[in-house]
A and B are shown apart, each in its own frame.
Chain A
Amino acid sequence: MTNPAEQDAQEVAWIKRAQHGDHEAFGFLVERFQRRVLALIFRLVGHRDAAEDLAQEVFIKAFRSLGSYSFASPFGSWLSRVTVNHCYDFLRRQRAVGSREEPLVQTLGGIETTRELPSRGEPDPERRVVMGDLVEKLLGRAPADDRVLLVLKEMEGLSVEEIGRALGVRAATVKVRLHRARKRMLEDFRRLQQRS
């Protein structure tokens, strides 16, 4: 059980009121967590346009499931779990309709792949932009499972245990899946390098 003192007293009061159906109290929670939820969704899904709609759906889902929140973990972590699961479903649905199935060449068409990547060494803003774009595109064509794991680990900086709790799987399973996901992405990256 999380010590209520660890959470803001005001936040605890809002949660308890919202658990009894108080919309106004839930509105305060939305105000407090909206940036965090939207940022996480944007990173998981990668679509700016879809992110806000998904964020609304996440908060509605959270309100409906608020009865199951028992203060066993901070409210932010619980909300992140709801967010991750919702995005995971969204990504799987997208994959099911095949909207993300694009060949590597087409996916990477927007990036200048025919020239050498800027060499490492001194911090180079141009190089950072190119590498960031590249990872974004590779992420866009990764399977939903890989994408969720990689974003949570590499961008959100969660530990293997935290990811396991968020996804409802064991840490050992996360470790294995993460290893495979990293390997697949590196293979894609190297294929691209060979082509260029």
Chain B
Amino acid sequence: MRCKNAQDILISGGADARVTEHLQVCPVCRGFARDYENLQEGWHALAARPAPEPSWGFAQRVLRRLEELPARAGAEENFFERVGRRVVYATGVLAFILLIALALPSSGPLRGPMPTEVFVAQSDRLVTTFPEFSADSEDIQTVNPTPVDPKGGTNSR
């Protein structure tokens, strides 16, 4: 029998004749078996220790807590249990990230200019360079047409 097999059988809590034979000739597995027995003894010692007693009025405190909790809290708890806390938390995180993304200013470093913004900027530059293209100058021309020179001809500057 190989040591690994013998040790696996020992850990599983069973020791048949083959394991016993192996232990007689293998000091490594004998040490392993001794340690395992020590550990088992520790378990028994721990199990034998008395557990704490509930403090006085424990049941009353449970009932008080039950009465204090609103009915809605129970529904929320059941929902969390049913859907799974992790899924809910993950959805929350995703929603938060989405909100942050939407709240970022459009001119921020994380977002490039939109095509409409480029057009507006170009229009502004055009007006600055050629004021006669501005809508205001057109309006002025429409409302105040070029005055006619009484002597004939147009009043050109």
Contact = CB atoms under 8 A, between A and B. Distances in A.
Interface of A: 23-24, 26-27, 30-31, 34-35, 38-39, 42-43, 48, 51-52, 55-56, 59-61, 63-64, 117, 120, 127-129, 131-132, 134-136, 139, 150, 154-155, 157, 179, 182-183, 185-186, 189-190, 193
Nearest to B51: A39
A135 B59 contact: no
Nearest to B11: A182
B66 A155 contact: no
B151 interface: no
Contacts of B39: 131, 135, 185-186, 189
A131 B40 CA distance: 9
B46 A135 contact: yes
Given A60-B69, A179-B8, A186-B11, A128 B41 contact: yes
B35 A23 contact: no
Per DSSP, are chain A's interface residues mostly helix, strand or loop, or mixed?
Answer: helix
Nearest to A131: B42
B35 A189 contact: yes
Contacts of A134: 42
Given A39-B51, A52-B54, A131 B77 contact: no
B59 A27 contact: yes
Q: Identify the 8 closest CB pairs spanning chains A and B, nearest first.
A: A132-B45, A135-B42, A39-B51, A131-B42, A154-B43, A30-B59, A128-B45, A155-B47
B1 to A, nearest CB: 18
A161 B3 CA distance: 29
A42 B8 contact: no
A169 to B, nearest CB: 17
Given A131-B41, A132-B48, 17 more contacts: A30-B58, A31-B59, A38-B53, A42-B51, A42-B52, A55-B54, A56-B61, A59-B62, A60-B62, A60-B69, A117-B38, A127-B41, A128-B45, A131-B38, A135-B39, A154-B40, A190-B35
Contacts of A182: 11
B37 interface: yes
Contacts of A135: 39, 42-43, 45-46
A34 B43 CA distance: 24
Contacts of A128: 41, 44-45, 48
Contacts of B46: 132, 135-136, 139, 155
B57 to A, nearest CB: 11
Interface string B56-94: 001111110111010000100110000000000000000
Contacts of A136: 46
A160 B69 CA distance: 37
B5 interface: no
A189 B41 CA distance: 13
A35 B62 contact: no
Given A131-B45, A135-B46, A189-B35, A60 B51 contact: no
A155 B50 CA distance: 12
